[in-house]
Amino acid sequence: MTIKKGAGIILLLLLMNTAGAYSEQSATYVGLKKCAPCHPNISNSWQNTRHAKAIDSLKKSGQETLPACVKCHVTGYELDGGFIDYELTPEMAGVQCEVCHGPGSEHVASPMTKKIVKESGAALCRQCHTQGQDPGFDYAVKAKNVHGN
């Protein structure tokens, strides 16, 4: 089988590009315990919010094993470093910092040079606070209470 010169070059470029894409390091989820030492006030007040106890509402209704429900009540559901299940990764239960601000491993490793997303916005919140799940959701009102008092 012969490959035309032009097609071979294109194939080579595609393979090189794909290999580069997979070798790039990306941030992973680290959990509240890694955020808390540098952000103690926010961390402490957040622990009294509904987001901190989000998984509990699923447990009360027996829905803590339903993936469609769990994904909105935990941090990094099925993503690198994120929540797998309550037995393996209980420390990732609840809607923690990284749900809104993004995976924090790079920021934790180099806080002065690797910034993390500061604000997430209504569109991100609406991924879980859908019209069907939370018809009265008002981002402007709710956003004020995300970090607690």
Instruction: Report pLDDT digits (tens) over 133-143.
Output: 899 999 999 88
pLDDT score at 115: 84
Q: CATH top-level class for 27-145?
A: mainly alpha
112 Cβ contact partners less than 8 Å away, ≥ 6 residues apart: none
Q: Kindly report the average pLDDT of the chain as a whole number.
A: 84
At residue 31's C-alpha, the angle toward residues 63 and 141, to 5°, is 70
Q: Please tell me the pTM assigned to this model.
A: 0.78
pLDDT tens, 10-59?
Answer: 444 444 444 333 334 589 999 999 999 999 999 999 999 999 999 999 99
Compute how many other C-beta atoms are within 10 angstroms of the C-beta atom of residue 113: 8
pLDDT score at 5: 53
- 3-class SS of residue 23: helix
Report the distance separating Cα 24 and Cα 20, nearest Å. Answer: 6
pLDDT above 90 for 98: yes
